[in-house]
């Protein structure tokens, strides 16, 4: 069977790659054409467009790049019609994928949403559109199944795919030596994967480095961005940037400064104390303040339903506040112990392993049998 998989960011590339591998186990003749990244390509997908060319975030950024975005949507539709897949699998990335879902549904394709949009955060009425445009939808956070049921819809909760990624991770015992790091304790800086967020967040994160001379700060780079991009926002060329080794970096760190997103969950699952940081454009922040309906932005806090990790957002995200919160994590053993207990509870709530395998066992029969579940 032919599967067209669309992911628009680094986390989607990771989750999509795992799903591709599991579908191949269930369907040995499976072919994949993808919008994604290096991981999906390595798993066996033919990449039509890389996610680094798709990562526009925030209301203002979308408006400024609307012509490019609309062209990408047109190109995607044209490619789907040309390739004629048996199913289209959408991985998160709702701004783009919801439009493709409508097109695909109208054109008669089967549509599967793996990691459905987080509609509980804002404009909850969108839930109806998701189910009208899809044959099957998966959620990965424990409270999402109940949210959809409240509107009369069924979704499959398969657990979070990050559980598998973390459990399969084998720490490199030679991480420090291989990267020529000193014996000083490490603080990880995880500034995200999108250019817009890195440009706003990294300079403030890095500004606290002089306040902690007994530690070495290491930046977690992503393979889709060159090192020189990060250097534009740093005062020192001596600051180390390590690409493609984020799990090893976090595992070797005393604490981490983490941009809100999937990385907050990864940091929690790896057991590294963290301060969550985020900054948007003024317009995006204003609209978020008006429309967003949740109290937290980090996945750790969302899963637990309370504040377990500090979130420094917008005007609260300053050099002074970052330094203060980081200092408390490093100097207060009770804060660290409490955060570790919260991480354990979070892991329990996320469910069991095997999200991608469970999803593939539902997807392949649906596609092959030519009927809805």
What is the block-wise mean pLDDT of the chain (373 residues), using blocks of 10 residues? 95 95 97 97 97 72 80 97 98 94 97 90 81 96 92 95 94 96 97 90 96 97 90 86 96 97 96 95 63 77 95 95 97 94 96 95 92 46
Contact in structure between 360 and 25 (CB atoms under 8 Å): yes
Q: Report the C-alpha gap between 225 and 364 in whole angstroms.
A: 34
Q: Note the pTM of the prediction, 2 decimals.
A: 0.87
CB atoms near residue 123 (< 10 Å): 13
Q: What's the topology of domain 167-349? A: Rossmann fold (3.40.50)
Partners of residue 46 on adjacent β-strands: 33
3-class state of residue 121 by DSSP: coil
Reference 274, options 244, 243, 246, 241; nearest CA is: 246
Q: Are strands 46-50 and 31-36 parallel, antiparallel or unpaired?
A: parallel
Contact in structure between 252 and 187 (CB atoms under 8 Å): no
Q: Which two tokens stand for residue 37?
A: 């990244």
What is the helix (H) or strand (E) element at residue 189, kind and residue range? strand 186-190
Q: How does 75-84 read in b/e, with b if 16+ C-beta sit within 10 Å?
A: ebeeebeeee
CB atoms near residue 348 (< 10 Å): 10
Query: Residue 65 has what pLDDT?
Result: 75
∠193-156-103 over CA atoms, to 5°? 65
Q: What is the pLDDT of residues 272-326, one digit of tens each?
A: 999 999 997 666 666 666 556 667 889 999 999 999 999 999 999 999 999 999 9
Domain ranges of the chain: 2-161+354-369, 167-349
| Backbone phi, psi, residue 49, to 5° | -145, 135
Give residues with Cβ within 8 angstroms of 269, minimum separation 6: 162, 163, 166, 343, 346, 347
Q: Report the C-alpha gap between 298 and 285 in whole angstroms.
A: 16
Reference 20, options 373, 357, 263; nearest CA is: 357
CATH number of 2-161+354-369: 3.40.50.2000
Query: Residue 56 has what pLDDT?
Result: 67
Answer yes or no: same fold for 2-161+354-369 and 167-349. yes
């Amino acid at each position: 069977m032919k599967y067209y998989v669309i992911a628009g960011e680094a986390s989607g590339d990771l989750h999509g790659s795992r799903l591709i591998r599991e579908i191949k186990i269930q369907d040995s003749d499976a072919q994949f054409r993808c919008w994604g990244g290096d991981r999906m390509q390595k798993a066996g997908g033919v990449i039509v467009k890389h996610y680094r060319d798709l990562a526009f975030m925030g209301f203002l950024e979308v408006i400024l790049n609307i012509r490019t975005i609309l062209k990408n949507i047109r190109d995607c539709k044209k490619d789907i019609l040309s390739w004629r897949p048996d199913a289209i699998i959408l991985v998160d990335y709702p701004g783009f994928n919801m439009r493709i879902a409508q097109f695909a549904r109208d054109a008669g394709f089967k549509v599967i949403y793996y990691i459905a949009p987080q509609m509980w955060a804002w404009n909850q009425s969108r839930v109806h559109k998701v189910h009208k445009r899809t044959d099957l939808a998966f959620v990965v956070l424990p409270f999402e199944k109940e949210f959809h049921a409240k509107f009369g819809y069924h979704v499959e909760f398969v657990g979070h795919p990050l559980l598998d990624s973390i459990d399969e991770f084998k720490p490199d015992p030679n991480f420090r030596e291989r990267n020529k790091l000193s014996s000083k304790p490490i603080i990880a800086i995880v500034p995200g994967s999108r250019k817009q967020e890195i440009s706003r967040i990294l300079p403030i994160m890095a500004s606290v480095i002089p306040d902690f001379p007994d530690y070495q700060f290491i930046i977690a780079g992503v393979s889709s961005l060159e090192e020189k991009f990060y250097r534009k926002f740093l005062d020192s060329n001596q600051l180390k940037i390590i690409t493609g080794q984020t799990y090893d970096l976090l595992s070797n760190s005393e604490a981490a400064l983490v941009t809100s997103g999937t990385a907050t969950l990864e940091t929690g699952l790896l057991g590294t104390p963290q301060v969550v940081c985020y900054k948007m454009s003024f317009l995006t922040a204003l609209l978020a303040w008006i429309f967003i309906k949740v109290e937290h932005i980090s996945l750790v806090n969302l899963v637990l339903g309370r504040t377990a990790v500090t979130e420094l957002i917008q005007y609260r995200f300053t050099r002074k506040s970052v330094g203060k919160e980081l200092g408390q994590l490093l100097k207060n053993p009770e804060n660290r112990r409490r955060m570790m207990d919260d991480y354990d509870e979070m892991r329990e709530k996320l469910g069991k392993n095997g999200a991608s395998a469970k999803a593939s066992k539902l997807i392949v029969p649906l596609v092959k049998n030519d009927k809805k579940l």
